Amino acid sequence: MIFIGMNQKLIYITLILFFGSLQNAFSDEKEKVQAVKFGGSASLSNSFYNSNNIAPRQPGNMQVGIIRANVSLFEVVDLPFELYYSSGAFGYQQPFNQFGVSPRISNWLTLHGGYFSTQMSDFTFGDLRMMGGGFELTPGNFRLKAIYGRTRQKVEPNKVSYAPEVYRQTAYAASIGYGNLSKSYFNINLFHAIDDSTSISADSLSITPNENLVASFDFGIAFGQYVSLRGEAGVSAFSLNTGAATIDEISLPEFIFTPNYSTMIDGAAKLDINITPSKYWSLVLSSRYIGPGFTTLGYALMPNDLMEFTLAPRLRLFKNKLNIRSKAGIRYNNLRDNKQSTTSRFTGMLAANWQINKHVGLDANYNNNQIESLHKNDTLRLSNVYRSYSITPRFNFDALGGINNIVFTYSFQDVSDKNVYTQEVSDNNTNTFTFIHSLSRPNSLTVTTTALYNHTYMSDIDSRIFHISESLAYRFLKNKLNTSLSLGANFVNVVENSSQFVFRLNSSYSFGKFGILGFFITNNSFRGAGTIARNYSELYGSLQYNVIF
């Protein structure tokens, strides 16, 4: 009942703002505006798939339609619409067929209805697509956001595939703040989500329904032109089982949170310092702490139980011809010392891009990722080191009646595992050589040749892969018809030899303002050899139509 009353008030406020904005648009008689503008885009496709001597990996035929439309009223109100349709299967937690509208009234009010996405802060709500409604007010430096809806639909347990059940989940989020987001500002954020325990047929083996409340404060401070701070601090309350006995000593309104004996409370914080004293160099210092009990259902895969520090300098030399970027960081877990071991991770990166002259360039990269576990039992210790190097010279010159680009890349990857049980199957190193040549002629003909050799060595496996491909692209009928043809072959030697041949034809015709019609078809043929020989082929194609109106 509380949310019903809130929705009614929201409708009244929206109508007042809507008609008030229209009145302001009509008040200036000198300004000539078009009453109604309509625009948008549509993408329709029909694909087909066929396989021979292999189980189908895609539907045999599928239609997909995506329509986006926008209606502008008196250049004050924008009404964007989105419609997604697919004849294929539904997604796991949200159906693919979705409809949403987010009208923008003037430049400071946005409404949401149906399926929509938005973000409150890094610790509360951000990467979920909600089905519901809400608004975002941004007049000047003032900000007010509020949303409410369903973030997950129910899924009954699958007794055949053993896929777990999913409760229907509803959530609301709100944020209020003030300030210039590019300079100094602050926001207070709130997020709440709860599973509907009656939405599925649960039993004693079912997972328990959850409830989550997160509050945070994020801010930014600019110290002149050269130094700025960005940070956020938050606290979460997470109940692993909403059916557990409640804590009578703590009483909160039901729509806020109901503490019980399965509730965990923990905090999180982050701080970034950006130092830019010159256009030739800059430095970013970052830190993040997320407690082991900090949980937000507003982000699908946010990790917890971590503390990390990162240093990222950047340097520009020789009139920006040489750019050097680097990053180093360390992360720890087991913050409460309640696990048998603490794992530390070090990450480092160094990249340089040097445009020596207009014909020659050079790129170089180095990456290092180390994970170490300090378990008391030596045989269970984890120590894993991943390193990679690459160097890429680039050449550009005129020859063969056109512009030539040549890129050669050598890369080396190495993985070292110090665990006595897993090192035999984990230790490996890989050498890769890549050569790409592209010729672009004035008559719109483009020819691209690619060759690649990859050698991976492990204790029990020695694999070699050689790839070569040729692509031709040409434009006909005053560039209205674009065509491309690609032929490629892969030769693989792992235990025994095998080969793969790929053919692809792509074409598109432009009807101008009436859209673009495209078609492509690709065929993949695999040929095995030896005792485990297996031959199969796959054919895939699609007819697509795209138009902007």
Confidence of residue 91 (pLDDT cuts 50, 70, 90): very low
- The secondary structure of 39-107 as a DSSP string is EEEEEEEEEEEEEESS--SS-SEEEEEEEEEEEEETTTEEEEEEEEEESSPPPSSS-S-EEEE--EETT
Check pLDDT > 70 for residue 419: no
User: What is the rounded distance in angstroms from the CA atom of residue 381 to the CA atom of residue 378?
Assistant: 5
Check pLDDT > 80 for residue 146: yes
User: What is the rounded distance in angstroms from the CA atom of residue 308 to the CA atom of residue 272?
Assistant: 12
User: What is the rounded distance in angstroms from the CA atom of residue 10 to the CA atom of residue 13?
Assistant: 5
Check pLDDT > 70 for residue 4: no
pTM: 0.74
Which of 64-73, 75-84, 106-115, 342-351 is the most confident on average?
Answer: 342-351
pLDDT tens digits for 15-51? 444 444 444 444 444 445 577 888 889 999 999 999 9
DSSP code, position 89: P
Model pLDDT, residue 129: 85
Q: Which of 102, 104, 127 is nearest to 116 (CA)?
A: 102
- Measured in degrees and rounded to the nearest 5, phi and psi for residue 104 equal -110, 120
Instruction: Report whether 175 contacts 143 (CB < 8 A).
Output: yes
Instruction: Report whether 135 contacts 112 (CB < 8 A).
Output: yes
What are the tokens at 102?
A: 């987010």
DSSP code, position 260: B
What's the chain's length in residues? Answer: 549
- Reported in sequence order, the residue ranges of 202-246 that DSSP labels E, i.e. its strands, are 211-223, 227-239
pLDDT tens digits for 307-348? 999 999 999 999 889 999 999 999 999 888 887 778 888 999
Within the chain, what is the greatest distance between any pair of CA atoms? 84
- Reported in sequence order, the residue ranges of 356-445 that DSSP labels E, i.e. its strands, are 360-373, 382-399, 402-417, 428-440
What are the tokens at 230?
A: 């960005």
> Mean pLDDT score of the chain, rounded to an integer?
85
**Strand 281-290 with 263-278, pairing:** antiparallel
Model pLDDT, residue 69: 82
How crowded is residue 270: how many other Cβ atoms within 10 Å of its Cβ?
18
